[in-house]
Each structure stands twice: as structure tokens, then as C-alpha cells.
């Protein structure tokens, strides 16, 4: 009764043969450390600890949180107490849980313009009213936010403060302080998506937003960009009182911790130092890819502007005002190249002359070939 | 900076030394097959398939769904097409996703009286208005439901049709047909929590509700009761059009499939037949435990009534009308025994003279000792 000749779809995204799709915002397959995870699983599962198979503590396994706290303390260069950590299935699941517990349909959520397009989809599932905030080359313009708050209050503010998706910028220290101070003054919660924080290719960024204090900030981290998306493992860093609210959700009370088995395996990765070694290799690879793509774009695309990436996965390309990047997609398809048009990242269809390119998925020669194809598209468009 | 002397909590539940807590509704630790999962992980992770570490297909990995479809087809004795399966993080997460996508605060959800207490917590997080429906020794009284639907319509109806938690009963064939027919007539969706379906200790139960046809039924299954809760792995069986709605959620579009890594390991358990062997052993063990606890209760507790368990995890004990099981808890604590009072399972504080006992967590001698302690509590109460 089961047709084995036609397996169901496996990969979330498949660009098709010979297409170089800069729209794929994932780590390259060859960068996923299968051998390290095989070793970590072998090490963990040969230990007689059946508790990793049982319902787990709501906030996540205590030993895992200790190991994660040490890893993050090293990575941030400042202490992260394990009591401030809560284990998740990744940022998407964390956002979903936060929306369920802290919002009701019709509530206002402030987001950056542009922002991560699939977060907008998630907020829409929760019936939230999304309001876009202006940004510049340093991210959210907090002075404008301060003005806006005088006549409109959000329940949540969603920000990607470091190596932003899609625009690449990093919010400076002073704006971080002002943002957190505004959240306290106007009583809203900041949800900071900081999945690219540990992937810096030049100077270290300012600390994650949760380090600016208070009960009003939730920082979201993930192993998806630094280890493997398929693990569905991430964390929340926030004040213990906030984490207690999450742990008291029906989802957690019923199902227990969100990822006991996988977090036990990744605990070995952390304790053995393998995660740290892998992260250093990734940063080297991504730094090289970012530099190569930036150089190729400068060489091939005279009319486009962009900032050199200092971390993360993306270059945000801005074309002359008159060009709508979305209109170029059919032409790009003909040239076997892909990208994500800027308007997808806007809550109100703006950024039409921008587009997002990911440099994490392909190797350097492929990125360079892709830049040449992109130039051909622009020349023909 | 991290105090290693004080590890954070690990297990979701800990009854304390020497307490026999019939309230713990989990598989016993010794029944969690660590060695099988070690072998499955070793087998899977030595194969050069990095795709299991990447973002996965929204509905779950295609090969895993094929293997799961074969396992369920064998278990149900009727075909389960893989296109009708969707991989989840377990029933709690599936319920949460269904509430997010299909309900809005204030919507009415019908539940059984009594029902799974933590599902009530989850529905409350989503702001749903819970309405309890009468049941008898065969479960939901569908004739009463038919009358009720004439003046009140729910968006969802949550049922545990087989070896119910907490009451143990199984909805017979004729009521299943009537229930599904009513959902079609009055346009509501049935959410059937069927985690105990494969754990039958006498005759096989009628098929899962999804097998009664149509677009109005979502059946929820899980590996938590038949393999290991810590995996956070389960499935939804429903018509493809319903699954497409789930796959289109922001959570899935953003994070990809809910459990690519763990499902790849469990795929080996399924393909090698280890899951089936383990399930057969579990059924033998649980059958023995259920029989022993029932015998010990009959021996020690003359005033209590209950039905012999035919599957699942629980015995639902009914005390004389005048007794409030909740009032007995302090006394039970003094006698180092625990249970869940019936009122916890009611949306309106009913079933006060009932209590739920789980026979899955402890071995037979401990269950028998617990029954004796319970008798002492009742004698003193």
C-alpha cells in the first residue's frame, strides 16, 4: 500500500539542478558536523543515564544548562548564569511560545523595517498587528522609536540586533541601552533574535540584549546556525522571573522540557569543547565566503551598494531606486540564479529595490559564479 | 562563576525518597530502552546523510513517514498512508499548534468530563472557553453531545477515545461513527489524543478516529508512551488538506520540520523492527502491572470501585460519594503514597470522590505496597 518509488519530500528547500540560489538562508550541507555528532551521541548514549529519555525539567536539563552557560560565558566574554537559560526547539518555537503566552490577537508588535520575513508569518498566525519601525545603517533608530512610543504602545518589540537578517547591521551599544530603557519606561517586552551573535567575522559585537538588564528583555539563541538546524535546539536567555512564566505554560507542564534527548547529546559537544572548535572553523569558512562574495559583487555589480558583512549569513544589496528586485526574479530564473527580493522582508512592501544574498550555503567558487550571473541579470533587466 | 555544587533540576517529577506516587503518569525509568536507542543512533549517524542535520521538510522527513506508516499500518491492522502523517514534537506541541492555527481566544472547545488535566492548562493558555461533556463507562455520551450541539457549537472537540486518561474507558465503534458524523454535520474539528492506542492489554480497540473519514478529524500519536518521552517525537494522522494547513504555519515555514535529527534515529528503530519488539515487551510488562495493581486494590480497598484496565497507563478509582479525594492528600503524604485527585481532571471541579492511579511507573511489588498504603490512608481518612 506504500509506494516506495515515490519518497515524500525530504529537504525543506531544493533550488533545483545548477541553480545558484542566494535565497537559501541555511548553512551548507558540507558544514554540518555529522561525525562530531556521531561521536557525541556514542559518548552520551553509552553512559547509563536513562533520565535523558524521560520527561525533562521544564526549563531544560540542569547539566546541559550548566554546559551551555559556560559556552556562552566564554563566547560573550561575560558571565551567563545557568538560571537565566531556558532550552527551546529553536528561535521559531521560542517566538511561538512567547506569542501564545504574552499576546492576544489584535495586540501590537513592533518590528524593524526590514525584518526576518518568516517571523512576520508567525506573528500573523497569532493575529498580531505588526508595525514596522524605521532603521538606518546602524539598525533600529531608537530616537524615532522614543517619539513613536508617545502615541502607540506595543506588547512586544521584535528585533534582530546583531548581524541582522536581512540587512546585516548591528545595533550599537548606545542604542541598545536606550532601547532597553524605553522598554522599561513604556512597559513592553523586547524579543531579541540573536542567532547570528556568535558568528562575528571582524570585531566582537556588543553583548546580547539580555545583558542590558531588567525583566523586559528576552534574548533568543540557537544551535541552528552554529551547529545544525535539524537538531531543533536553541535557548532563551532572560531573567528567572520571565523564564518561570514560560516554564509554567501548559505546553511545558504537559510535555516537560522541550528537547531532553538532543540536548543531552549536544551537552557532550559543549563539554568536550567540540562545539567551540566547530564554531571557530565555521567562522573561518564564513569569513572567507563573505569576503569573496563581497569582492565578486564589487567587481561585477557597479550600480549596487552594500555594506561589508561583519558577521551572520547575509549581504543586503541595494539597487538604484527605479529597480524593483521582485521584477527581476523571472530573469534571474532564466540565468539560473536566485535571491530574496527586499519587499519580502517588509511588513508594508517596502525595500523594493533591495535584495538579500546568503553567503553561508555555497562554497566560494559557487558564490563567485553566482555574482557573475546576478550581474548578467542586472545588465539584462 | 557557575556553582557546580548545585545542579539545576533534571527530572520533571521527583516524588522524593520512599514515596510511592501513583500520580506520576510516566513510563518507569528502567523501561526506557537506552541501549536500543544507542544502537539506532550509531547505525543512523554512521551513514553519510547530512540532510538529517539540515532544516527538514515541514511535514517531517519522507523516509521516516514511510517507516512510521508501515509501523502504524501493522499496529492498526489497516493501511495508514504516509501522506496522512505529519511529524510533531509530541501531543502537547501538536495541541498547541492546532490551538494557534484553528482557534482564537474566547472560542469554545468541548472536552470530556473527566479529561487530561494538563490539556486544560494548554487550552487556557490559548484563552479557550472549555465546556465539559458527560461521559459514562463507555466514554463520551454522543447522544447527549448531539442534543447539546443544537444550541452550542464548539470550534474543537478534544477527546481521548482509547484507554482514556484518566478514566481508562474506550469509546465503542458506534459512538465513534456518531461523533465523526456530528463533527461533519455541525462543522467542528475533532482532536483525538490517542497516545495509549497501541498499548492494549486485552482485545484490540476500534481504529483511531482519523480512520472514520473526512476532513474533520485530527488523530494525535506519540512515541512518549511506546518508546521514550525525552525524544519529544510524535505524529498527527489526518487528511492531507488538514496537514497542508499545519505545514503552512509560520512555525513550520521558519523552522522546517519539527524533529529531523531524532526522527532519523527513530527511523532506524522502526525499520529494524526494534520499536515493534520493544512495544511487545512493554505491553507484557504493563499488562502484568495493571493486573497486579487491580488485584491488590480489590484485595485492600473494599469500598472503592474501578474497571479492570484494558490498556493505557491508568486505573480510575471511585470512592464513596461522601469522600473528597483531595482532602486525603495530606494523609497520603504521611503514609508516603501519592495519587491525583479526580477534581484535577474536571473542567468544573467535579469527580471529587475519584482519583487516578498510574501503573506504568513502578514495578509490581512497589505497586502492591502502594495499594496497601492507600488502603491505610482510606481506613484512617
CATH number (domain holding residue A298): 3.90.1150.10
Starting from the edge strand earliest in sequence, which strands make up the sheet with B340-341, in order?
Answer: B314-318, B354-358, B340-341
Q: What is the pLDDT of residues A117-160, one digit of tens each?
A: 999 999 999 999 999 999 999 999 999 999 999 999 999 999 99
Please identify, among B241, B274, B307, the residue that sits at the C-terminal boundary of a domain: B274
Nearest CA in chain A to B69: A2
Shared domain check, B195 and B329 = no
CA–CA dist B332, B339 (Å, integer): 8
Q: Look at residue B59 and tell me if it is in a domain.
A: yes
- Which residues of chain A have a CB within 8 Å of the CB of B232? 89, 255, 258-261
Interface of A with B in 71-110 (CB under 8 A): 73, 79, 81-83, 89-93, 95-96, 99-101, 104-105
Q: Are A108 and A131 in contact (CB under 8 A)?
A: yes
Mean pLDDT along residues A300-319: 95
DSSP assignments along B140-157, one per residue: E-HHHHHHHTTT---SEE
What φ, ψ does residue A205 adopt, rounded to 5°? -75, 170
Q: What is the mean pLDDT of chain B?
A: 94
d(CA A158, CA B38): 40
- Beta bridge mates, B88: B234
What is the per-residue pLDDT for B302?
85
Say whether B251 and A4 touch across the interface (CB within 8 A).
Answer: no
Residue A15's pLDDT is 56
pLDDT average, residue stretch A236-261: 96
Quote the pLDDT of residue A213.
Answer: 82
Q: What is the 3-state secondary structure (H, E, C) of chain A?
A: CCCCCCCCCCECCCCCCCCEECCCCCCCHHHCCHHHHHHHHHHHHCCCCHHHHCCECCCCCHHHHHHHHHHHHHHHCCCCCHHHEEEECCHHHHHHHHHHHHCCCCCEEEEECCCCHHHHHHHHHCCCEEEEECEECCEECHHHHHHHCCCCCCCEEEECCCCCCCCCCCCCHHHHHHHHHHHHHHCCEEEEECCCCCCECCCCCCCCHHHHCCCCEEEEEECCCCCCHHHCCEEEECCHHHHHHHHCCHHHHHHCCCCHHHHHHHHHHHHCCHHHHHHHHHHHHHHHHHHHHHHHHHHHCCCCECCCCCECCEEEEECCCCCCHHHHHHHHHHCCEECEEHHHHCCCCCCCCEEEEECCCCCHHHHHHHHHHHHHHHHHC
Query: pLDDT tens across B211-268, in order?
Result: 998 799 999 999 999 999 999 999 999 999 999 999 999 999 999 999 999 999 999 9
Residue A3 lies in a domain: no
The answer to whether the Cα torsion of B334, B336, B342, B347 is positive or negative is: positive
- Predicted local distance difference test score (pLDDT) of residue A302: 85
A98 and A43 in a common domain? yes
A150 and A204 part of one domain: yes
Considering B274, B294, B316, which residue would you say is the last residue of a domain?
B274
The phi-psi region of residue A314 (left if phi > 0; otherwise alpha if psi is between -120 and 50; otherwise beta) is beta
Instruction: Note the pLDDT of residue A16.
Output: 62
Instruction: Quote ipTM for the complex.
Output: 0.95
Tens digit of each residue's pLDDT (9 = 90 or more) over B129-187? 999 999 999 999 999 999 999 999 999 999 999 999 999 999 999 999 999 999 999 99
Interchain CB contact of A18 with B (< 8 Å): no
A257, B65: Cβ pair inside 8 Å? no
For residue A61, being part of any structural domain is answered with yes
Which range of residues forms the domain containing residue A156? Answer: 38-274
Residues 6+ apart with CB under 8 A from B334: none
Q: Is residue B241 part of a domain?
A: yes
Q: How many CB atoms lie within 10 A of CB A231?
A: 26
User: Which chain B residues are Cβ-neighbours of A63 within 8 angstroms?
Assistant: 7-8, 10
pLDDT > 90 in chain B, percent = 93
How many domains does chain A contain in total? 2
Return residues 144-203 of A near B (CB < 8 Å). none
**Stretch A369-376: mean pLDDT:** 96
Q: Are A108 and A194 within one domain? A: yes
Tell me the pLDDT tens digit for each residue of A274-308.
Answer: 999 999 999 999 999 999 999 999 999 988 999 99
User: Is B15 a domain residue?
Assistant: no
Supply the pLDDT for residue B15: 56
In order of B225, B346, B361, B368, the CA distances from B325 in angstroms are 27, 13, 21, 20
**CA–CA distance, B94 with B96 (Å, rounded to integer):** 5
pLDDT tens column, A71-99: 999 999 999 999 999 999 999 999 999 99
Q: What is the pLDDT of residues A6-28, one digit of tens each?
A: 445 444 445 566 999 999 999 99
A301 with A170, same domain: the answer is no
> Are B351 and B343 in contact, with CB atoms under 8 Å apart?
yes
* Confidence bin at A31 (pLDDT 50/70/90): very high
Say if B13 falls within a structural domain: no
- Do B250 and B343 lie in one domain? The reply is no
- B255 and B320 assigned to the same domain: no
Considering the domain architecture, whether residues A281 and A269 belong to the same structural domain is answered as: no
With contact defined as beta carbons under 8 Å apart, do A130 and A120 qualify? yes
DSSP bridge pairs for B159? B192
Query: Is residue A216 one of the residues assigned to a domain?
Result: yes
Nearest CA-CA partner of B13 in B377, B341, B338, B327: B338
Same structural domain, A194 and A252: yes
Tell me: pLDDT of B10 over 90: no
Q: HSE of B300 in the Cβ direction (CA atoms, 13 Å)?
A: 20
- Which residues lie below 8 Å from residue A280, measured CB to CB, with a gap of 6+? none
Residue A328 predicted with pLDDT over 80: yes
Q: Does A119 touch chain B (CB under 8 A)?
A: yes
The CATH number covering residue B223 comes to 3.40.640.10
- Rounded to two decimals, the pTM is 0.95
Contact (Cβ atoms closer than 8 angstroms) between residue B332 and residue B377:
yes
User: Given pLDDT bands bounded at 50, 70 and 90, which one contains residue B16?
Assistant: low
Both B246 and B130 in one domain: the answer is: yes
Q: Do B231 and B307 share a domain, yes or no?
A: no
Chains A, B: CB contacts under 8 A, how many? Answer: 287
Q: Stretch B325-347: mean pLDDT, rounded?
A: 96
Peptide bond into B166 cis (omega under 30): yes
Whether B368 is covered by a domain: the verdict is yes
With a cut of 80, say whether residue B128 has pLDDT above it: yes
Backbone angles phi, psi at A52, to 5 degrees: -70, -15
Partner residue opposite B230 with nearest CB, options A27, A54, A230: A54
Q: Which is higher by pLDDT, A303 or B206?
A: B206
Whether residues A97 and A242 fall in one domain: yes
- What are B70-114's pLDDT values in tens digits? 999 999 999 999 999 999 999 999 999 999 999 999 999 999 999
Distance between CA atoms of residues B140 and B175, nearest Å: 8
* CA–CA distance, A242 with B19 (Å, rounded to integer): 32
Closest Cβ opposite residue B251 in set A30, A81, A93: A93
Task: Say if the Cβ atoms of B228 and A53 lie within 8 Å.
Answer: yes
* pLDDT above 90: percentage of residues in chain A: 93
pLDDT digits 0-9 by tens, A180-227: 999 999 999 999 999 999 999 999 999 999 999 879 999 999 999 999
Last residue of a domain, one of B240, B274, B308: B274
DSSP secondary structure string for all residues of B240-252? HHHHHHHHTSHHH
What one-character DSSP code corresponds to residue B7?
A: P
For strands A234-237 and B234-237, give the pairing. Answer: unpaired
Amino acid at each position: 500500500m506504500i509506494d516506495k518509488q515515490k519518497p515524500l519530500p525530504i529537504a525543506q528547500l531544493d533550488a533545483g539542478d545548477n541553480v545558484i540560489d542566494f535565497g537559501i538562508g541555511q548553512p551548507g550541507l558540507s558544514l554540518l558536523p555529522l561525525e562530531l555528532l556521531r561521536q557525541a551521541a556514542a559518548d552520551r548514549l553509552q553512559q547509563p543515564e536513562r533520565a535523558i529519555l524521560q520527561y525533562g525539567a521544564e526549563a531544560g536539563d540542569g547539566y546541559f544548562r550548566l554546559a551551555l552557560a559556560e559556552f556562552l560565558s566564554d563566547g560573550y566574554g561575560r558571565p551567563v548564569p545557568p538560571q537565566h537559560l531556558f532550552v527551546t526547539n529553536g528561535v521559531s518555537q521560542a517566538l511561538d511560545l512567547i506569542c501564545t503566552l504574552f499576546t492576544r490577537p489584535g495586540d501590537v508588535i513592533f518590528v524593524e523595517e526590514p525584518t526576518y520575513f518568516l517571523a512576520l508569518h508567525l506573528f500573523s498566525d497569532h493575529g498580531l498587528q505588526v508595525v514596522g519601525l524605521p532603521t538606518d545603517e546602524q539598525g533600529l533608530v531608537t530616537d524615532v522609536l522614543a517619539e513613536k512610543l508617545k502615541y502607540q504602545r506595543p506588547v512586544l518589540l521584535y528585533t534582530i540586533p546583531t548581524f541582522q537578517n536581512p540587512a546585516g547591521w548591528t545595533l550599537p551599544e548606545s542604542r541598545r541601552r536606550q532601547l532597553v530603557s524605553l522598554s522599561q519606561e513604556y512597559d513592553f517586552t523586547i524579543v531579541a533574535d540573536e542567532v547570528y551573535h556568535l558568528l562575528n567575522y571582524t570585531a566582537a559585537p556588543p553583548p546580547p540584549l539580555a545583558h542590558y538588564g531588567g525583566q523586559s528583555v528576552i534574548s533568543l539563541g540557537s544551535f541552528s546556525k552554529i551547529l545544525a538546524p535539524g537538531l531543533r535546539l536553541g535557548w532563551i536567555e532572560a531573567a528567572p522571573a520571565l523564564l518561570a512564566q514560560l516554564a509554567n505554560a501548559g505546553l511545558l507542564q504537559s510535555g516537560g522540557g522541550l528537547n531532553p534527548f538532543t540536548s543531552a547529546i549536544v551537552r557532550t559537544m559543549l563539554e568536550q569543547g567540540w562545539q567551540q572548535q566547530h564554531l571557530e572553523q565555521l567562522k573561518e569558512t564564513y569569513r572567507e565566503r563573505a569576503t569573496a562574495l563581497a569582492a565578486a559583487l564589487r567587481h561585477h555589480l557597479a550600480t549596487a551598494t552594500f555594506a561589508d558583512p561583519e558577521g551572520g549569513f547575509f549581504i543586503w544589496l541595494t539597487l538604484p531606486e527605479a529597480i524593483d528586485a521582485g521584477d527581476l526574479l523571472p530573469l534571474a530564473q532564466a540565468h539560473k540564479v536566485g535571491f530574496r527580493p527586499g519587499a519580502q522582508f517588509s511588513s508594508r512592501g517596502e525595500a523594493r529595490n533591495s535584495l538579500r544574498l546568503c553567503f553561508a550555503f555555497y562554497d566560494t567558487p559557487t558564490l563567485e559564479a553566482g555574482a557573475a550571473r546576478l550581474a548578467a541579470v542586472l545588465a539584462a533587466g
